[in-house]
């Protein structure tokens, strides 16, 4: 997470994991969101709860520039206002029916969500590309120990072996879980990418074993 | 071809789905699995002493393993679903068909416990489920890095159909699918296939149909 | 928060046909109970420390209570009608409030999205006005109409189905719907919900139908299909507890039955599985 005086940015997903016309659940320090991309490619972060009967919007579907709830089909624009209530086709939904939204930025293949109003843009990845995201049942501290390196605001720089250095961008979650976005050099070969994915799995295993030991008496 | 079937069984659904995708007509014989426990009754035990469903009957052939049923349907009607026949691909298909049994045991066991009150150690079942889902996720990530959207190739095979149902229904057993982006994309790719059919617990992808224009008052 | 008024209600705790001497362990509102058949073949329910609990057997199910029910279980006259088939659909556990389970059963606007091509389909999403009233302290919705591609196993195509809904107890709902083989009668489909905890329940659907063609297994599977399609909705509503105060959730005219149900719950202090202050 990158913070300044007025807000911060959380990396929630890889761009490649959110194709046009899809929605996925994500967590931010401000709460759960339905992260979605319209058919035209624009991203949005809506609170993951439809105000009708409380259904998670991340279970919904995207059509055009709107996210619809799977329960009764209520549709919301990227700005959060309700566009359509299928049970009442002639009705223009009142302004009061809306979902809260959070600011989303996308750059270098990563999607960031703002908490508060950060003054700066999210950081750029110089020469790095995202590989994959994975969720670890381990705290940042356990990951640091497993990687043998401390995390700075830009994540953990992890030297896997002589040939490869991987950056792990971290987004702490609840319950000592950490969402890890694995980044590597943009000139990595396919073999190096597969090796990096496997290395990340190994790191997660090690960190989770450490986490369990710390919790167990 | 007669399928002894339970509408809520993901293993039976594998066969119904494969038949729909490959255009095979099945003669469905519904089994009162719950609450009737018909699969453990004399008629079905005579056909399959293991007491499980699905059972596929085609003249003299009786199959009781869902993976075998998928292979049979593909071999009969659509062999492209078996892979290219090269050694590595064939082995990968077998790997995932065997892996699918772990999904049945873990995710399926958790689902039966949470939903239909079957006995089990739910904590252990959920832990095994997460381990299996992580392996599937890693496998799909690597396939993606090889430029392939499905488990064995860039087109679906019986391996995908064998793994899909229990994975898609993981939340029924209290196992969340939220942390697996590659599984989400793969599931979506399968659900978008022509002739895909759902089962209860797997919603239709409404985004595949455009927004209808509705005249108020005209129903 | 005291839930005294719900303590004295009847709740389903098992299928009578499945009862044996060994019994089944279950629970009511957090208290472990045991449901078994005694030597005479009657149902017997015991609570904590073996205390005997009230029992009745009705509509294929065993019913019990943690308290003292003031009246007999609600009546469904159709259950005594000759020619009907009675269907024990079988229990399904859901991680949701028992009140959310009932409210979902009363809702029709979700049919095209959740029961697609069975109970509803786009573009037929409009919910026409219907009537809601209280009759003898029960919630009733009548003149409910919805276009359905496949309304019942006995229907041979799309029809506009007419419905009535009735809530005779806090965790029970009865649906009366157009009966295709006998247009002057109603098919009866019920949802009997057993509250295990405020966010966990066992749902026991039951039916009394006119249908001489369809096999019992097919009737069971049709209803199980419908309920399983609702289950993944029920397990993903936030908050878990049903809000009884306005503010958290926004109803429209299509939700008249649910609005009446929530008001009725609040009026009776039926709050097990509910939350009162908007958060």
User: What is the ipTM, given to two decimal places?
Assistant: 0.95
Cβ-proximal residues to B68 (8 Å cutoff; 6+ apart), any chain: none
What tokens does C6 get?
């719900």
**Other residues' Cβ atoms within 10 Å of the Cβ of residue A157:** 15
**pTM tops 0.80, yes or no:** yes
Q: Return contacts of B173-176, CB within 8 angstroms, 24+ apart.
A: B173/B107, B173/B108, B173/B109, B173/B110, B173/B111, B173/B112, B173/B113, B173/B114, B173/B115, B173/B125, B173/B126, B173/B129, B174/B110, B174/B114, B174/B122, B174/B126, B174/C95, B175/B107, B175/B110, B175/B126, B175/B129, B175/B130, B175/B133
Q: Say if the Cβ atoms of B206 and A70 lie within 8 Å.
A: yes
**Nearest-angstrom CA–CA distance, A181 and C47:** 52
What tokens does A89 get?
């086709």
- Note the pLDDT of residue C157: 75
**Nearest-angstrom CA–CA distance, A211 and A172:** 14
User: Is residue A27 less than 8 Å (CB to CB) from chain C?
Assistant: no
Contact C204, C216 (CB under 8 A): no
Provide the residue-wise pLDDT of chain A in tens; the chain has 217 residues: 566 668 899 999 999 999 999 999 999 999 999 999 999 999 999 999 999 999 999 999 999 999 999 999 999 999 999 999 999 999 999 999 999 999 999 999 999 999 989 989 999 988 999 999 999 999 999 999 999 999 988 788 888 776 788 999 999 999 999 999 999 999 999 999 999 999 999 999 999 999 999 876 5
Helical spans, DSSP H, in B104-203: 109-116, 122-145, 158-168, 181-191
User: Which chain C residues have a beta carbon less than 8 Å from that of B31?
Assistant: 217
- pLDDT reading at C94 higher than 90: yes
What tokens does C272 get?
């097990």
User: Is residue A73 less than 8 Å (CB to CB) from chain B?
Assistant: yes
Could you give the maximum distance between any two Cα atoms of chain B, in Å?
61
**C-alpha R_g of chain A:** 19
Cβ-proximal residues to A167 (8 Å cutoff; 6+ apart), any chain: A128, A154, A155, A156, A157, A158, A182, A183, A184
CB pairs under 8 A between B and C: 80
Q: What is each CA distance from C216 to A3, B96, B135, B185, C237, in whole angstroms? A: 62, 37, 41, 39, 33
Cβ-proximal residues to B87 (8 Å cutoff; 6+ apart), any chain: none
- Note the pLDDT of residue B219: 39
From B184, B205, B207, residue closest to A24, measured CB to CB:
B184
User: Is residue B185 less than 8 Å (CB to CB) from chain A?
Assistant: yes
Residue to test with chain C: of A58, A70, A86, A97, most C Cβ within 10 A: A86
Q: What is the DSSP string of chain C?
A: ---HHHHTS-EEEEEGGG--SS-EEEEETTEEEEEEE-TTS-EEEE-GGG-B--EEEETTEEEE-SS--SSPPPP-GGGG-TT-EEEE---EEESS-HHHHHHHHT--TTHHHHSBTTTB-TT-------EEEEETTEEEEEEEEEEESS-STT--S-EEEEEEEEEEETTEEEEEEE-TT-TTSEEEEEEEEEEEETTEEEEEEEEEE--SSS-HHHHHHHHHHHHHHHHHHHTTBSSSSEE-STTSS---GGGHHHHHHHHHHHHTT--TTEE-S--
User: Is residue A17 less than 8 Å (CB to CB) from chain B?
Assistant: yes
User: Which chain A residues have a beta carbon less than 8 Å from that of C253?
Assistant: 87-88
Residue to test with chain C: of A87, A95, A96, most C Cβ within 10 A: A87
User: Is residue A217 less than 8 Å (CB to CB) from chain C?
Assistant: no
Provide the residue-wise pLDDT of chain B in tens; the chain has 219 residues: 999 999 999 999 999 999 999 999 999 999 999 999 999 999 999 999 999 999 999 999 999 999 999 999 999 999 999 998 899 999 999 999 999 999 999 999 999 999 999 999 999 999 999 999 999 999 999 999 999 999 999 999 999 999 999 999 999 999 999 999 999 999 999 999 999 999 999 999 999 998 888 766 643
Q: Which helix (H) or strand (E) holds B20?
A: helix B10-22
User: Which chain B residues have a beta carbon less than 8 Å from that of A201?
Assistant: 134, 138
Helical spans, DSSP H, in B23-86: 42-47, 66-77
- Note the pLDDT of residue B31: 98
User: Which chain B residues have a beta carbon less than 8 Å from that of A198?
Assistant: 138
From B36, B174, B200, residue closest to C228, measured CB to CB:
B200
Q: What is the DSSP letter of B106?
A: I
Q: What is each CA distance from C24 to A18, B38, C192, in whole angstroms? A: 47, 20, 18
Residue A154 vs residue C13, higher pLDDT? C13
Q: What is the DSSP letter of B126?
A: H
**Nearest-angstrom CA–CA distance, B49 and B62:** 12
Q: Say if the Cβ atoms of A134 and B137 lie within 8 Å.
A: yes
**Nearest-angstrom CA–CA distance, C7 and C270:** 9
What tokens does C198 get?
């405020």
Residue B110 vs residue C180, higher pLDDT? B110
**Nearest-angstrom CA–CA distance, C193 and C11:** 7
Q: Which helix (H) or strand (E) holds B55?
A: strand B55-58
Q: Say if the Cβ atoms of B116 and C218 lie within 8 Å.
A: no
Give the chain B residue nearest C218 (alpha carbons). Answer: B30
- Note the pLDDT of residue C181: 86
Q: In the block, which residue shows the tokens 């008249």?
A: C256
User: Is residue A59 less than 8 Å (CB to CB) from chain C?
Assistant: yes
Give the chain B residue nearest A75 (alpha carbons). Answer: B211
User: Is residue C252 less than 8 Å (CB to CB) from chain A?
Assistant: yes
Q: Say if the Cβ atoms of C229 and B201 lie within 8 Å.
A: yes
**Nearest-angstrom CA–CA distance, C76 and C70:** 18
CA angle A107/A111/A114 to nearest 5° reads 105
User: Is residue A19 less than 8 Å (CB to CB) from chain B?
Assistant: yes
Give the chain C residue nearest B209 (alpha carbons). Answer: C122
Q: Which helix (H) or strand (E) holds B15?
A: helix B10-22
């Amino acid at each position: 997470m990158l913070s300044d005086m007025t807000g911060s940015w959380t990396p929630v997903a890889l761009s490649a994991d959110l194709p046009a016309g899809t929605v996925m659940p994500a967590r931010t320090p401000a709460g759960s969101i339905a992260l979605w991309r319209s058919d035209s490619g624009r991203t949005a972060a809506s609170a993951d709860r439809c105000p009708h009967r409380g259904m998670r919007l991340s279970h919904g579907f995207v059509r055009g520039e709107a996210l619809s709830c799977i329960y009764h089909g209520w549709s919301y624009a990227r700005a959060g206002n309700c566009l359509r209530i299928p049970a009442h086709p002639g009705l223009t939904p009142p302004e009061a029916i809306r979902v809260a939204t959070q600011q989303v930025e996308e750059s270098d293949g990563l999607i960031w969500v703002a908490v508060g109003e950060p003054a700066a843009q999210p950081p750029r990845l110089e020469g790095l590309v995202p590989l994959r995201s994975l969720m670890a049942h381990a705290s940042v501290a356990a990951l640091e120990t497993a990687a043998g390196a401390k995390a700075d605001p830009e994540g953990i720089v992890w030297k896997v072996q002589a040939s490869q250095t991987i950056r792990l961008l971290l987004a702490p979650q609840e319950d000592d879980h950490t969402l890890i976005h694995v980044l590597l050099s943009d000139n990595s070969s396919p073999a190096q990418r597969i090796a990096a994915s496997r290395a990340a799995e190994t790191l997660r295993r090690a960190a989770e074993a450490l986490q369990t030991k710390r919790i167990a008496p | 071809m007669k399928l002894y079937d339970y509408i809520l069984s993901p293993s039976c659904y594998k066969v119904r789905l494969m038949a729909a995708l490959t255009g095979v007509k099945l003669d469905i014989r519904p089994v009162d699995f719950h609450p009737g426990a018909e699969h453990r009754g004399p008629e079905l035990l005579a056909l399959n002493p293991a007491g499980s469903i699905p059972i596929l009957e085609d003249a003299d052939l009786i199959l009781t393993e869902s993976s075998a049923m998928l292979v049979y349907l593909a071999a009969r009607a659509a062999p492209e679903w078996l892979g290219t026949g090269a050694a590595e691909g064939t082995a990968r298909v077998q790997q995932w068909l065997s892996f699918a049994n772990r999904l049945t045991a873990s995710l399926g066991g958790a689902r039966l416990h949470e939903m239909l009150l079957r006995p089990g150690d739910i904590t252990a079942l959920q832990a095994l489920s997460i381990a299996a889902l992580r392996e599937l996720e890693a496998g799909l990530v690597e396939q993606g890095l090889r430029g392939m959207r499905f488990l064995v190739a860039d087109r679906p095979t019986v391996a995908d159909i064998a793994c899909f149902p229990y994975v898609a229904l993981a939340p029924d057993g209290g196992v969340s699918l939220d942390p697996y982006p590659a599984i989400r994309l793969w599931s979506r790719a399968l659900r978008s296939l022509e002739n895909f059919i759902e089962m209860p617990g797997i919603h239709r992808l409404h985004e595949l149909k455009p927004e209808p224009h509705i005249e108020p008052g005209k129903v | 928060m005291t839930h005294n008024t719900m303590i004295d209600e009847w709740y389903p705790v098992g299928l009578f046909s499945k009862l044996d001497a060994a019994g089944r362990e279950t629970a009511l509102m957090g208290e472990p109970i045991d449901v078994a058949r005694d030597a005479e073949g009657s149902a017997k329910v015991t609570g904590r420390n073996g205390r005997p609990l009230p029992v009745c057997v009705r509509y294929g199910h065993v019913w019990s209570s943690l308290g003292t029910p003031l009246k007999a279980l609600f009546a469904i006259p159709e259950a005594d009608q000759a020619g009907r088939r009675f269907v024990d659909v079988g229990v399904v556990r859901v991680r949701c409030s028992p009140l959310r389970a009932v409210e979902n059963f009363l809702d029709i606007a979700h049919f095209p999205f959740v029961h697609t091509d069975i109970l509803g389909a786009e573009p037929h999403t409009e919910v026409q006005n219907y009537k809601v009233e209280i009759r003898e302290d029960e919630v009733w919705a009548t003149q409910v109409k919805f276009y359905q591609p496949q309304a019942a196993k006995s229907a041979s195509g799309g029809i506009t189905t007419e419905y009535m809904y009735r809530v005779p107890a806090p965790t029970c709902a009865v649906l009366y719907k157009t009966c295709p083989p006998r247009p002057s009668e109603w098919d009866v489909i019920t949802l009997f919900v057993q509250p295990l905890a405020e966010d966990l329940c066992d749902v026991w659907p039951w039916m009394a139908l006119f249908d001489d063609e369809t096999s019992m297994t097919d009737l069971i599977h049709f209803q199980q299909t419908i309920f399983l399609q609702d289950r993944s909705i029920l397990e993903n509503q936030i908050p878990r507890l049903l809000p009884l105060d306005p503010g958290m959730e926004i109803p429209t005219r299509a939700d008249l039955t649910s609005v009446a149900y929530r008001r009725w719950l609040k009026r009776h202090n039926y709050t097990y599985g509910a939350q009162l202050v908007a958060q």
